[in-house]
Structure 1
């Protein structure tokens, strides 16, 4: 008698944002989720126009895409430009639909920070989001865990599948990187070396040299 063995679905984590620029904090977050959730693949998706916030000093889309690829390569991460081909704001629900269609036998995990997680009910077609992917977040600090868990329960009641993981976050932001570049301060500890070189070689964010 032959028994059919059910093959577990592959897990694809989707991490989107402006990545203006991508930094070590982003990579640290992704690696933490990979370990905790047993993620098979991670896809970084830079957005063309972020719908949730105004982007200051936004670098050219091709530059941000290239920096993502430079940062991703040593870690075996994937980078997609699907949002860069859309006109207007980049809505996550549209991206997840595309990925669900492209990878029907894959379970999608949407990675995000605490601030974005706490606004999920304001996202376009948020209930569709919940059907397409698992919502994954990490608290900013130990004091923020309870708020995220409370909100996760609220989202679960709306049909979401949520993961709140306690991961140590690095005190790095894209804003910090841009400000240090403007002030001609070193950023070697904030971004991968290849990204640092690219920023200064292409004079992004007002940078003139990497001394």
Structure 2
């Protein structure tokens, strides 16, 4: 079985994330993709909103992707989330499966700063989704696929919400509705 692993804070999950999940599944013939929300990214200082809100938005954004599972193992562990620790746990849970960690160019460019990054490369395959037209060079053992990437970030969405600017086109409709109903990311 080929299992994709897609992690992040998803604060909030947006169309760029959902696109990456679908593109990786299609281009690498993955049987399923496990989405893993991080309790706290080691590379970000912002504290995400409540875990339950982020998980609910992930559920809504991936509702029609029958190959997606959500695993809250990093939330249950709490604290800073290291991919190395997560991959060790996933190897125990999915014995015999081929694991494929899905990332973008930005994560690839900082990979040498990841916790135990050299050992991490021995635990799984790593897929880098490159922007169309990008001239970044992806070195082996990383796998790569040039794909259309939605130029959107969760931090940009949070900023637009605070500034009361348009952002609905960057999210799944159900995620947008959830944010509005729960007044998420608004200045208190």
**Normalising to structure 2: TM-score of the pair?**
0.92
Q: How many Å apart are 1:176 and its aligned residue?
A: 2.1
- Aligned to 2:171, the other structure's residue is in SS state coil
1:117 aligns with 2:97: no
Q: In the alignment, what sits opposite 1:61?
A: 51
1:170 is matched with: 150
Distance in 2 (alpha carbons) for counterparts of 1:134 and 1:193? 32
Check if 1:13 corresponds to 2:4.
yes
Give the RMSD, CA atoms, in angstroms. Answer: 1.8
TM-score computed with the length of structure 1 as normaliser: 0.82
**TM-fit CA distance, 1:106:** 0.8
Shift >6 Å, 4+ stretches:
none
The reply to whether residue 79 of structure 1 matches residue 70 of structure 2 is: yes
Question: Retained in 2: the 8 A contact 1:72–1:79?
Answer: no
The structure with the larger Rg is 1
Q: Secondary structure at the match of 2:100?
A: strand
**Does residue 129 of structure 1 match 2:109?**
no
1:113-166 CA deviation, whole Å, 9 max, x = no partner?
Answer: 1111122222112222112111111234523333xx2xx23xxxxxxx321110
The structure with more helix, counted as a fraction of residues: 1
Q: Which string of whole-angstrom CA distances, capped at 9 and with x for unpartnered residues, describes residues 13-54 of structure 1?
A: 001011010000111111111111101101111101111222
Alignment coverage as a number of residue pairs: 187
Contact 2:60 2:174 survives alignment (8 Å): yes
Higher relative contact order (CA closer than 8 Å, sequence separation 6+)? 2
